[in-house]
Structure 1
Amino acid sequence: MNRTFRTITVPEKGSWIKKRYRPFIDSAGIPVAVKQIGPLDGSGSKAQLILFDDGQQYVVKFKGNFQGPRVLANELIASRLAQMLQLPIAEFQVVRVPQIFIDFEPDMARRPFIGGLQFGSLFYANAIASPTQTMLGHLDNPTLLASIVVFDHLINNWDRSCHGDNVLFLPGSPPQLLLIDHGHAFLGPEWTVEELQANTLPVKPLFGNFYRIMAPYLVGDVFAESLERVERLQRQQLAALMVDIPLEWGIYEAEQEALIEFLLARKDQVRPTIAKLQRRGRFPQTEDYKKYIVR
């Protein structure tokens, strides 16, 4: 790879970047790390907040992270699928963090991180993780919340049903929701082809604390639109999700085909699972939903 070096202007006097690390321009246009901001609190994968040469700050998950080897691919594929299904996903990028960058930053050097191509999610400074029930009420868009439930069942993302910090609330007029953190999608961060094939079905009902917070706004037939969108997914659309996944992430032809088959088999089984949750009283089917308010 041809590497063109350039001077990076850093405001801090005596910056370690000027002394130790000279960022280069990636010939493929992939953003390259220029400055570590700090670790992300509470991240199971020990994600890091990093400034890149495109001027953006990304929350970066690394190869060699603590959760498992499939985290980066899970994040990229789920994010692309969310875009395809018109869900509000945080902006994302494949980014480059060289090994020398990792080695010169003490907090990262002590981790088992591996340099190269990583997954980056754009950092939103004013975002609020784990939105409250009151915040969700300001959205005035129950079909959006319903589409999140449908999406999570499609990709088997149990994590968000329990943890609201996988959703960002952006205050404003109007306020917005953004989805993040899909490292536990499919069968988690360590799935194998054989496990995907053996555990595609059934689509198990998901319901945790965050879904309970959303429940008052999921009245009646709010799931119809998102269910229809999922059921219309075709093989060629799912195959497009697999294009240009970095080879170093280990998602080869067999893994890609297993993921496609996993999604194809599940897309028509989400509807009966949602119906089962409604029959169990998890989501209200009438306007009388006071019992769903979280005190």
Structure 2
Amino acid sequence: MKTVQATRYVTPLREGGSLPAVVEADDDGLYVLKFRGAGQGPKALVAELVAGELARALELPMPELVLVELDSEFARTEPDPEIQDLIRASEGLNLGIDYLPGALNYDPAAMPVDAELASRIVWFDAFVSNVDRTARNPNLMVWHRKPWLIDHGAALYFHHDWDSAGTACERPFVLIRDHVLLPFATRIGEVDAAMAAALTDALIERIVAAIPDGWLQDETAFADGPAHRKAYVDYLKRRRDARAGFVQEAIRAHAAHV
């Protein structure tokens, strides 16, 4: 996972509560920057990174992710005091998502999604316990006539309660019933084996290893960073191996929906 330096603050994106922004980086790319100092805290960035990189490894349509080094000097040219404070609180490594110029919000009524792709996305969101892919808030963009996944900060919500993470990995994801693509997901059982096989131990370990150390601080449940990372790895492996629960729940939810 590459690291870039933010060189220009382009514009804030005020649609979300975390006040992300479009920035330009030293690789000449434009990125949607998710700030470490935003109200959701670094756990939202951990969820964005882990879920986003898993989605990319599963060959789902997910923009490239990068780590973005942010200098607090950016705040000097920003007139909004709230954004100034956010930039200063986020000095260091933040998360960037490749900006999709001209992308439109996804509308399920205007764009049905292929059953194979819809089923793979539903499977993935059940795996990462993504509560935020609903008709009210799809977190899908349409770019070049193709749906793209965005915004996974609300996924992996088990990490807000590590005491129950050991049992959470085996629970069905009942909120899959609200998934915006569930009506199109007719092949969930058929895509299951291939999706799980792609989530190798080595892949999970590599993605978790990419989490910056600074995002794992201030967690009292673990003695140190390595123990914290191991807990993420263990959860994701157990979630994959115990997937029958969330797969069957998704299949039942689809059947009830139609």
What is the TM-score of this pair, normalised by structure 1?
0.74
Shift of 1:65: 0.8
2:146 pairs with 1:176: yes
CA RMSD, aligned part only?
2.6
Q: Spell out, residue by residue over 1:67-90, the C-alpha distance to the aligned partner (whole angstroms, 9 max, x if none).
A: 122111211111111122121111
1:124 aligns with 2:90: no
Q: Return closer, same or farther for 1:113/1:46 CA change in 2, 3 Å cut-off.
A: farther
Q: What 5-or-longer segments of structure 1 have no aligned partner?
A: 1-27, 286-290
- Among 222, 234, 237, the alignment partner of 2:203 is 237
Structure 1 runs (4+) deviating above 4 angstroms are none
Alpha-carbon deviation of 1:167? 1.0
Aligned residue for 2:43? 70
Instruction: Kindly report which structure 2 residues correspond to 1:141-290, keeping only aligned pairs within 5 A, or say none.
Output: 141-161=114-134, 163-171=136-144, 175-187=145-157, 191=160, 193-197=162-166, 199-207=168-176, 209=178, 211=179, 213-219=180-186, 222-232=187-197, 233-250=199-216, 252-279=225-252, 282-284=253-255
Give the letter for the 1:159 counterpart: D
Distance of 1:84 and 1:253 partners within structure 2: 23
**Sequence identity (%):** 26
Partner AA of 1:214 in structure 2: L
Structure 1 residues 149 and 215: CA distance shift in structure 2, 3 A: closer
User: Does structure 2 conserve the Cα–Cα contact (< 8 Å) formed by 1:161 and 1:208?
Assistant: no
Go from structure 1 to structure 2 and tell me whether the alpha carbon gap of 1:197 and 1:215 turns closer, same or farther (over 3 Å shift): closer
Decide which structure has the larger Cα Rg and report it.
1
Structure 2 stretches of 5 or more lacking a match?
218-224
Which residue does the alignment assign to 2:222?
none
Greater CA deviation, 46-55 or 245-254? 245-254
> Which one is further off, 61-70 or 269-278?
269-278
* Residue of 23, 26, 31 corresponding to 1:53: 26
Q: Structure 2 length as normaliser, TM-score?
A: 0.84
Aligned AA (2:183): P
